[in-house]
């Protein structure tokens, strides 16, 4: 059973119960009032009949007239209501069938049902051992009650029929947003992650719709992230395979030449140099790849890192670069080895993009509790449209130049991961022909830092 059908049945049941109970209570109350009034009137009439008969009997006795059964029968028969007269346990007379079997005591009242009528029967004792029983017809009262009950039932049936139709329309209208939510859920499950409900009902269903749409936004975002991650993995594997294949092809080719061909010493030295160059390139590739994977899997413990202590190590790691570092620099919160790798990669990239012997600058600027480290060069620069991609693994702006210089396309990707491990990100500013500035912002070390 659908929800709107359950709602419809529930509303109809509640309406029918409320209408039925209320109507029955009203009819019963009205009937009780009428029966009480009629009972009071009948009791008064019975008392009057008793008084009248007693007076007539006393009058007959005063005048010396016999008060035998015949005289009493005549007086009872003259009553306007059905009656019966008893002398002790002996029936004197009765004007209504059934009263003969009712030897009621004083002030007794009963309701008698015959085949077609209903009577209220009253009994009272008179002087001389007499007992008068009178009956008053209640058939009209009960007939009116039954007619009113039947009219009420017909009215209730008509009202419930009309209410069912109206309630069905209202229930469908109220539950229509649920159908929209169900349809949206089915479409999202089928792959339409952009589907939204956007319901405006001004009630809890609108709140549910907003929550549903937020959930759909989160699902769409997660799916997009997963698809992007899968695409990045595919690109990574493809680029890694390509980057691995190129030096391996050179190594195998030169090694095969040395193995199968008779070559002079110069050619042997050239082949050996090529093998060494490509081998070192593979070594650098594997080292950076391992560092990149290590950053993804392991956390980083941040400690106090005095930047001036890094400059000698940076100069030693980049001996062929004309490097200029600031004389004074604060202590930052980070990992010394990772920050050295970050600066070393940025400096080497800057040197490769610059003319031989061109200076590479390491700048340090403090603003409040943050320190910005910048590596700047005046090299060939990067086209603006390519800047968002330079931190992707294996991406190289100029592949031939990068491979010639031993590059792997992992340097900036590794730097980006190192910056992220420090709660920061690389900021790259570049202009073709004017040079490049790569910056990372780090927090100043504080003794009470967590």
Q: Is the pLDDT of residue 45 over 60?
A: yes
Per CATH, the number for 3-155 is: 3.30.450
pLDDT at 254: 83
Q: Across residues 263-275, what is the average pLDDT?
A: 84
- CA separation (Å) from 386 to 357, 430, 431? 26, 10, 11
- Going by pLDDT thresholds of 50, 70 and 90, the confidence category of residue 147 is very high
> How many C-beta neighbours within 10 Å does residue 333 have?
19
Q: What is the dihedral of CA 296, 299, 302, 305, to 10 degrees?
A: -50
Q: How far apart are CA 177 and CA 154, in angstroms?
A: 36
Helix H, strand E, coil C: the string for the chain is: CCHHHHHHHHHHHHHHHHHHHHHHHHHHHHHHHHHHHHHHHHHHHHHHHHHHHHHHHHHHHHCCCCCCHHHHHHHHHCCCCCEEEEECCEEEEECCCCHHHCCCCCCEEEEEECCCCEEEEEEEECCCCEEEEEEEECHHHHHHHHHHHHHHHHHHHHHHHHHHHHHHHHHHHHHHHHHHHHHHHHHHHCCCCCCCCCCCCCCHHHHHHHHHHHHHHHHHHHHHHHHHHHHHHHHHHHHHHHHHHHHHHHHHHHHHHHHHCCCCHHHHHHHHHHHHHHHHHHHHHHHHHHHHHHHHHCCCCCEEEEHHHHHHHHHHHCCCCEEECCCCCCEEEECHHHHHHHHHHHHHHHHHHCCCCCEEEEEEEEECCEEEEEEEECCCCCCHHHHHHCCCCCCCCCHHHHHHCCCCCCHHHHHHHHHHHCCCCCEEEEECCCEEEEEEEEEECCCCCC
How many CB atoms are located within 10 Å of the residue 232 CB?
A: 12
Is the pLDDT reported for residue 103 higher than 60? Answer: no
- pLDDT number for residue 40: 93
Between 88 and 28, where is the model more confident? Answer: 28
CA distances to 124, 125, 202, 330 from 47, rounded to whole Å, are 8, 11, 70, 119
Query: Does residue 424 contact residue 416 with C-beta atoms inside 8 Å?
Result: no
429: confidence class by pLDDT, cuts 50, 70, 90: very high
Confidence class for position 181, pLDDT limits 50, 70, 90 = confident
Size of the chain, expressed as the number of residues it contains: 450
Q: Is 437 exposed, middle or buried (0-12, 13-18, 19+ CB in 10 A)?
A: middle
Q: What is the pLDDT at residue 409?
A: 66
Could you tell me which CATH number the domain at 300-450 has?
3.30.565.10
Q: How many CA atoms lie within 13 A of 4 on its CB side?
A: 16
Q: What is the mean pLDDT of the chain?
A: 83
Average pLDDT over residues 156-178: 85
Categorize the per-residue pLDDT at 63 as very low, low, confident or very high, splitting at 50, 70 and 90.
confident
CA dist 216 to 21, 185, 203, 225, Å? 48, 9, 20, 14
How far is Cα 20 from Cα 157, in angstroms, rounded to an integer?
10
Residue 1 in this model has a pLDDT that exceeds 70? no
- In Å, how far are 13, 143, 355 from 22, measured between CA atoms? 14, 21, 99
The more confident residue out of 1 and 321 is 321
Given a cut of 70, whether residue 336 has pLDDT beyond it is yes
List pLDDT tens digits, range 386-427.
888 888 777 766 555 555 555 556 778 878 888 888 889 999
How many Cβ atoms from other residues are within 10 Å of residue 207's Cβ? 12
Distance, CA of 111 to CA of 101 (rounded, Å): 13
207-232 residue pLDDT tens: 888 898 899 899 889 988 888 888 87
For residues 258 and 271, the answer to whether their CB atoms sit within 8 Å is yes
Residue 116 exposed, middle or buried by CB count within 10 Å (0-12, 13-18, 19+):
exposed
% of residues, the chain, pLDDT over 70: 87
Residue 85 has pLDDT above 60, yes or no: yes
Q: What CA–CA distances, in Å, run from 16 to 7, 109, 157? A: 14, 38, 9
């Amino acid at each position: 059973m659908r929800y709107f059908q359950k709602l419809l049945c529930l509303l109809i049941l509640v309406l029918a119960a409320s209408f039925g109970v209320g109507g029955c209570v009203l009819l019963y109350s009205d009937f009780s009032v009428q029966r009480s009034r009629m009972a009071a009137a009948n009791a008064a009439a019975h008392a009057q009949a008793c008084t009248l008969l007693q007076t007539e009997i006393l009058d007959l006795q005063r005048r010396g007239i016999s008060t035998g059964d015949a005289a009493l029968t005549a007086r009872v028969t003259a009553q306007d209501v059905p009656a019966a007269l008893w002398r002790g346990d002996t029936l004197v007379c009765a004007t209504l069938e059934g009263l003969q079997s009712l030897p009621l005591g004083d002030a007794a009242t009963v309701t008698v049902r015959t085949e077609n009528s209903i009577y209220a029967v009253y009994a009272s004792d008179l002087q001389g051992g007499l007992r008068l029983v009178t009956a008053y017809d209640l058939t009209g009262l009960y007939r009116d009650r039954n007619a009113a009950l039947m009219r009420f039932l017909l009215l209730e049936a008509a009202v419930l029929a009309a209410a069912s139709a109206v309630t069905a329309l209202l229930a469908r209208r109220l539950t229509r947003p649920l159908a929209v939510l169900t349809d949206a859920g089915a479409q999202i499950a089928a792959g339409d992650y952009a589907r939204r409900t956007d319901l405006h009902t001004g009630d809890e269903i609108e709140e549910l719709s907003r929550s549903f749409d937020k959930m759909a936004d989160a699902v769409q975002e997660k799916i997009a992230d997963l698809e992007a991650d899968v695409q990045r993995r595919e690109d990574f594997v493809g680029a890694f395979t390509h980057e691995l294949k190129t030096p391996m092809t050179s190594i195998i080719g030169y090694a095969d030449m040395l193995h199968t061909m008779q070559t002079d010493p110069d050619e042997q030295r050239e082949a050996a140099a090529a093998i060494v160059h490509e081998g070192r390139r593979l070594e650098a590739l594997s080292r950076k790849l391992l560092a990149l994977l290590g950053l993804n899997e392991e956390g980083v413990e941040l400690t106090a890192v005095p930047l001036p202590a890094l400059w000698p190590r940076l100069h030693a790691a980049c001996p062929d670069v004309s490097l200029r570092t600031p004389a004074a620099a604060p202590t930052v919160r980070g990992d010394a080895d990772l920050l050295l790798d970050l600066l070393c990669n940025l400096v080497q990239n800057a040197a490769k993009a610059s003319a031989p012997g061109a200076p590479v600058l390491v700048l340090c600027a403090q603003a409040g509790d943050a320190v910005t480290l910048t590596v700047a060069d005046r090299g060939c620069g990067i086209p603006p449209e390519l800047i968002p991609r330079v931190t992707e693994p294996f991406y190289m702006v100029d592949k031939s130049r990068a491979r010639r210089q031993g590059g792997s396309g992992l340097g900036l990707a590794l730097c980006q991961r190192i910056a992220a491990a420090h709660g920061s990100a690389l900021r790259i500013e570049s202009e073709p022909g004017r040079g490049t500035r790569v910056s990372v912002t780090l927090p100043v070390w504080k003794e009470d830092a967590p």
